[in-house]
Every structure is written in C-alpha cells, then in structure tokens.
Chain A
Amino acid sequence: MSTADVQLIDIVKEFDSGGERVRAVDSVSIEIADGEFFALLGPSGCGKTTTLRLIAGFEQPTRGRILIRGRAMQGIPAYHRPVNTVFQDYALFPHLTVEKNIMFGLQMEGVDKREAQKRAQESLEMVRLPGVGGRKPHQLSGGQQQRVALARALVKQPAVLLLDEPLGALDLKLRKNMQYELKALQRDVGITFIYVTHDQEEAITMADRIAIMNAGELLQVGSPKEIYEQPNTHFVADFIGETNFIAGELRGRADDGYGAVTLANGAQLRARLAASLAAGSRSVTLAIRPEKIAIARHEGAPAATAGITQLEARIIAQQYIGTDTRYTVDIGGGIRLVARVQNTGAIAADTFAEGQTALVSWSDSSATALDH
C-alpha cells in the first residue's frame, strides 16, 4: 500500500429530519490507499451512501475533514473534485446519446469535440460496448447502461472512482459476471475504487479492504479475511456470513489475547478476545462460524489437544445442502450450534443421524469473544 489517496478525518454528517437532528455519519475516520479497491459495506440506512456523497461533494460534512490526494476538499464543489461517480440508477442523461453522455464530462474540461469523440470511443471499447455510441440510454439493457455509466466516469480519468451499489439493479447472473469484470477493470486502470454495497458477498469477493458501517458508525475496517475470521463486534459477525452466538462468562484473560470462558452449561473453553472487547467485560458472546466446527464419532476421535475445544453433542437435525451438510447440535443445557460439514467423502459415510451423540470441536482461534 502506497500513499493515502482518500482520508476521512472524524467525519460527522447530520441532517434535519422533521425538526430533529439525525446523525447519518458519526465520527468516521478512514484512510484509503492509492489503487485500492475499498468497499463500504452495511445495511441500508447505515450511512455508507452518505459517506460516498460526502467524498463526491454532493453533501458537506457537518464536522471533520476530507482529503483527496492530500488536498483538503472543504469548500470545493463536486465539479472541481478529482472523483467521479457511478450512480446506483446510472443517471445517464436520457436526452443525450451514449456517446454524448460519455463526451459530456470531457467537454466540461474543455477537451475539443474530435478528441472527446475519440476518447468516448476508446472508453466504450474498454467496457466492451463498441458500436452503441449513437443510441439513447433507454435503448440499452440494464447491464449495458451500467457499462456506459462506468465508461462515462472512467473517461475522465479520476483519481478515485466512487460506485454506489452499481450492480444492485442487475439480475444475479449478470451481477456475478460484472463483479469479475469490475475487479479486472480496476486492476487494469489502477484507479482507487470506493464501492458502496449492502451485499456482503460482493464486498468479500471484490474488495481489498472492507469498512463495515452500522447506524452511521464505522465498526471495523480490514481485509475480507480479517473481517470474516476476526469480527470485532457482534454486528459484524452477524452481518457477514453465518455465525453461532453463545452467551458465556469471561473468567480470565491471558497475555496472548485469549481468555477463559465458561458457558451456561458449565463447559470451560478458551476463546480469542476481540480487540474491541471492553476492558471490564465479564459477560460476553462467543461467535463461531458453522464451517469451523468439526463433528466426529466418539470412537476414533482425536484425543483432546491444546488449542482445540472439544465438547459432547447430540445431533438435533441434519440438512443436506449439496456441497455441505448442515447439522444442528445440542451441546448440553439447551445450547444449540449449527455446524457445516463438507461432503468430501465418496459416499455419505461420515454422516450423523438425528439423536446420535458425537463430539464437536473447533480451534480456540475460531471462537471470538465479543461484547453483546
């Protein structure tokens, strides 16, 4: 990672809503590196789009500073910022042809008509849509409009490209294809992408780093792997993928970032303490991903070793879902967990029947202790 391309420093954005001050963005600080594919992820209304609009210059922050390539953006209108946006509904000008849509931004810079035409042509080729320049936007399919919107923004060669749920309106298959294409395109052009989405899978597959927002607050920033493997709040663990949550009591903290936790059924285990865990927290929530939990028969089970938690369990339900089998197990005291076991065997030899008892185990590092 090289220099910071975009810096948000303690950004607050408040709106007036029926005489009430509503905080859409609450003290958010982010640094985004040059050439990074950065995703802003969160449920609708979490403030991610507002954050994007603040960077674009459509909104002014109530407090805080925005720097793009080291330059403070305060008082700089949208039309003077080195950023361009791909809008959720594309916002292609309906009265202009595709070519004129793409030329629009160049002509605002004073690029002469012939040069603008040439570059519009090139950018249409870049998004693999040559030959549609003479058409009006409404004559194109949703996927084509999406590419034109991309071409219109990229032809300006911005420092940063802002994308506001650009694939939201496309059907699933097209969306998958566009994910790969967008990622490849971003690598080719080397422009910083800031990508707003509520789709966790989209963020995980495309982004170099993800920022998770909820209720205007920034909860966690990290690589997809960090976000998934080491969620630092209950919300993040819940929002990304599937997670088991178990209530527990923190008995002691070790220096290595682990702690001893006792469950309601008396089971004692070790878990990784989330970085955000408050210093005085006693009652915690354990988060464990279903695919991290292994199930084994009593006979021939590996002996309990350090770093592994192993518990007795009874199979409550099983559900075959093709690649995996999903088991619901009871580890005593009414505590239920979901485990996902890959169907790697030639035949379903390793399956467990309902009512059967077994051993469930997971690595201590896969269990994260969080505040509620």
Chain B
Amino acid sequence: MSSRWRRIRETGFFLALPTTAWLALFFVLPLAIVLFVSFMSRGRGGVAELPFTLEHYQRSFGIFSIILWRSIRLAALTTVICLLLGYPLAFFISTRRRRLARHISLFLVILPFWTNFLIRTYSWRILLGEAGLINGFLLHLGLIGEPLSLLNTQFAVLIGLVYGFLPFMVLPIYASVERFNFRYVDAAQDLGANDARTFLRVVLPLTMPGVLAGCALVFIPSVGAFVTPDLLGGTKGLMIGNLINNQFGGSGNMPLGSALSIVMMAVVMLSLLVYVFGNRRERG
C-alpha cells in the first residue's frame, strides 16, 4: 500500500464529507424544523405560529393513539407474517445445492420490484374489490352467497404490506443461512438434539442476525406506510402515515403533523434499539 493510500485510509474524513453535508442540509436541518414546529400552535390555514404548546403531543397520544397503536400492530403483524413466510423460503433458497437454482430463486423474489409499487398496490384493489377476482371466484364456486368486504379493511392493508415487504425479510435471512455452517447441525444432532431442538437452539440463534435485520427492514417502513393503507385500507385501515400526510394538506395542521412524525420516529428508534441490542447479545 502506498503512503498516499495509507494516509487516505487513516485520515480520509473528506470521503464522508459530501454525504455528511447532504444529510445535514436535507435531513438534520428539516428534522430540527419539524421538531421545533411540533411544539408550536396551529394558525390559520394549518400553518405554525407561536405560542409554544404540548397540545399536539397530547392529541397524538390521546385521540390519535388508536391509529398509532393500529400502525404498530399492523406493522408488527406484517413483520411476524413476513418472518413466518420468509424464513422457510430463505432457508429453502440458500440450501439449494446448485448456484443457478439459488440465483433464479433470488431473482424471482426481487422480480416484483421491476413493477412500480403503486401499480402493484392498485392491482390488489382489483383482486380484493367486491366485484374483484377473489370474490368473483368464491361466488362462482358458490362458497359464499354475497361478496365479502375485503377491500378497505385492515386485513387488506395487512395483505398489501406483507406482499410489499416480504423480499426485505427474505434477502437478509438468505444471506445468514447461506453463511451458516451445517456442521453445527451435525454437532447438535450428535449431542442428542432432535430436529426441533436443533433448529431452536442452534440454527435459529446462528441465523438471528438475518432475522433481526429482516424484521427491522420490514417493521420500520411498515409503521410509516401510507400508500398501502391509503389504497387498500379506506377509513378503517387508516395508519399514522396517512394521518401525517393529511396534516400537511390544504385543511391540515402542520404542528400536529410534525408532532405525529416525531412520535412515529420515536417508535422506529425504539424498534431499532431492540435490533441493536438483539444483535449485540447474539454476538456476545
């Protein structure tokens, strides 16, 4: 390594400078403004004005707590379902002996990304609607007498979220299982662990980094999702993302929207803490 490269390696802070400046200007500064605004009063037309108040936080945890909890619950459910679907799939893909089989499978997992997220979510409206494909099929079979109300429910939101975020669960778990040394399975079985205990005591703990990363990647965007609940949830499936979105519209309330944003960020930060501590414990 030349001395020039050694210098870059040791004191190359300028490498991080562009990104730091970018984030300071377009992330830290706006965030500070949002935090500031969240403590201000609502003026005419929804804009912020003095004096300072805690009113918006009281409302966030007050009448809007139903929606906050619904968002957390839906995101948590999405995460659990993605984990239950994604872990076996990731395990299957990463244990294919042939490289080609693994690569094709991974390609199929990320294939939906080739289509715009909005279009894919709209498609679910066609599937789930009262005159949609699913109801039509069930009616045709005579399994139901009248169409089910699938659309504009929390159930529809859940389907949409799981559909949208499943690849984010599969990919990190795939990476973890691929690195997993199956000699440990031999060792566990050799020491008397049956298949279930081998999985719970050895395979799962050793692939936990992938599981935690997958959960974080699914939970965090799910909490703040607003396209999916907007298109599939109606009023019953409203999530905190929609609520925030509405506050910044024509008849909105910018300080309230800011407070809700800060609360949502706090939820995300808390879940990230779980991720960090979970990871540290695994590494010991």
Interface residues of A (CB under 8 A from B): 56-58, 77-80, 83-85, 87, 89, 91-95, 104-105, 108-109, 136, 152-153, 156
- The answer, yes or no, to whether B12 is at the interface (CB within 8 Å) is no
A201 to B152, CA, bound (A): 76
Interface residues on B, range: 10 to 19
Interface, chain B (partner A; CB < 8 A)? 181, 183-184, 186-194, 197, 201-202, 205-206, 282, 284
Which residues does chain B contribute within 8 Å of A87, judged by CB atoms? 183, 186-187
Closest to A162 in B: B190
| With known contacts A95-B205, A136-B284, A104–B191 Cβ distance under 8 A | yes
Cα of A164 to Cα of B190 in the assembled complex, Å: 13
Taking the closest CB of chain A, its distance from the CB of B84, in whole angstroms, is 22
Would A108 and B186 count as touching, CB distance under 8 A?
no
A residues near B190, Cβ cutoff 8 Å: 56, 58, 78-79, 83-85, 153
Instruction: Flag if B189 contacts A58 (CB, 8 Å).
Output: yes
Partner of B191, one of A58, A89, A136, A156: A156
Docked Cα-Cα span, A19 to B128, in Å, equals 46
CB–CB A77/B191 < 8 A: no
Partner of A91, one of B184, B192, B194, B205: B184
- The answer on a CB contact under 8 Å between A104 and B201 is yes
- Give which listed residue, B192, B202, B205, contacts A109 with CB less than 8 A: B192
Contacts of A92 in B (CB 8 A): 187
Q: Which residues of A contact B284 (CB under 8 A)?
A: 95, 136
Chain B contacts of A85 at CB under 8 A?
186-187, 190
Q: Give Cα distance in the complex from A80 to B282, angstroms.
A: 29
List, in ascending order, chain B residues with CB within 8 A of A156's CB.
191-192
Q: In the assembly, what is the distance between CA of A89 and CA of B188, in Å?
A: 14
Q: With A78-B190, A92-B187, A104-B193 given, name 19 new contacts (CB 8 A).
A: A56-B186, A58-B189, A77-B189, A77-B194, A78-B189, A79-B192, A79-B193, A87-B187, A89-B183, A91-B181, A91-B187, A93-B206, A94-B206, A95-B205, A104-B191, A105-B192, A109-B192, A153-B191, A156-B191
Is the pair B206, A95 in contact by a Cβ cutoff of 8 Å?
A: yes
- The complex places the Cα of A104 from the Cα of B205 at a distance, in Å, of 14
A91 with B189: CB separation less than 8 A: no
Cα distance A77–B190 in the bound complex, in angstroms:
9
Q: Are A108 and B184 in contact (CB under 8 A)?
A: no
Chain B residue at minimal CB-CB distance from A80: B192
Within the complex, what minimum Cβ distance (angstroms) separates B177 from chain A? 15
Determine if B186 and A91 form an interchain contact, defined as CB atoms under 8 angstroms apart: yes
A93 lies within 8 A of B187 (CB):
yes
In Å, the complex CA distance between A1 and B186 comes to 31
Chain A residues positioned under 8 Å from B192 (CB to CB): 79-80, 105, 108-109, 156
Q: Tell me, in angstroms, the Cα distance from A77 to B282 when the chains sit together.
A: 29
- A105 adjacent to B189 (CB under 8 Å): no
Q: How far is the CB of A228 from chain B (nearest CB, A)?
A: 33
- Please provide the 8 A-B residue pairs with the shortest distance between their CB atoms, ordered closest to farther: A105-B191, A108-B192, A91-B187, A78-B189, A91-B183, A85-B190, A79-B189, A79-B192
Distance in Å from the Cβ of B215 to the closest Cβ of chain A? 18
Question: Closest A-chain residue to B189, C-beta based?
Answer: A78
A80 CB, nearest partner CB in chain B, Å: 8
24 pairs, A vs B, C-beta closer than 8 Å: A56-B186, A58-B189, A58-B190, A78-B189, A78-B190, A79-B194, A84-B190, A85-B186, A87-B183, A87-B186, A87-B187, A91-B181, A91-B183, A91-B186, A93-B187, A94-B206, A95-B205, A95-B284, A104-B191, A104-B193, A108-B191, A108-B192, A108-B197, A152-B191
Report the separation of the CA atoms of residues A118 and B53 in the bound assembly, to the nearest whole angstrom. Answer: 62
| Measured CA separation A156–B190 after assembly (Å) | 10
Complex: how many Å from CA A108 to CA B191?
A: 7
Measured between C-beta atoms, what is the minimum distance from B253 to chain A in Å?
49
Q: How far is the CB of B194 from chain A (nearest CB, A)?
A: 5
Interface hub of B188, B190, B201 (most chain A Cβ within 10 A)? B190
Rounded to whole angstroms, the CA-CA distance of A77 and B192 in the bound complex is 9
Chain A hits for B186, CB < 8 A: 56, 58, 78, 85, 87, 91
Which of chain B's residues has its CB closest to A95's CB? Answer: B205
Contacts of A105 in B (CB 8 A): 191-192
- Chain B residues contacting A56 (CB-CB under 8 Å) are 186, 190
Q: Across the two chains, which residue of chain B brings its CB closest to A138?
A: B284
Q: Which of A58, A77, A80, A95 has the most CB of B within 10 A?
A: A95
* Nearest CB on B from A1, distance (A): 27
The closest CB in chain A to the CB of B181 belongs to A91
Cα–Cα distance between A104 and B184 once the two chains are bound (Å): 12
Residues of chain B with a CB closer than 8 A to A153's CB: 190-191
Cβ contact of A84, chosen from B183, B191, B202, cutoff 8 A: B191
- Closest chain B residue to A136, Cβ basis: B284
A242 to chain B minimum Cβ distance, whole angstroms, is: 36
The complex places the Cα of A77 from the Cα of B191 at a distance, in Å, of 11
List chain B residues, Cβ under 8 A from A89: 183
- Interface pair A108/B193, CB less than 8 Å apart: yes
User: B residues within 8 A CB of A108?
Assistant: 191-193, 197
CA distance A216 to B280 in the complex (A): 46
Shortest Cβ distance from A108 into B: residue: B192
> Which residues from B are CB-within-8-Å of A79?
189-194
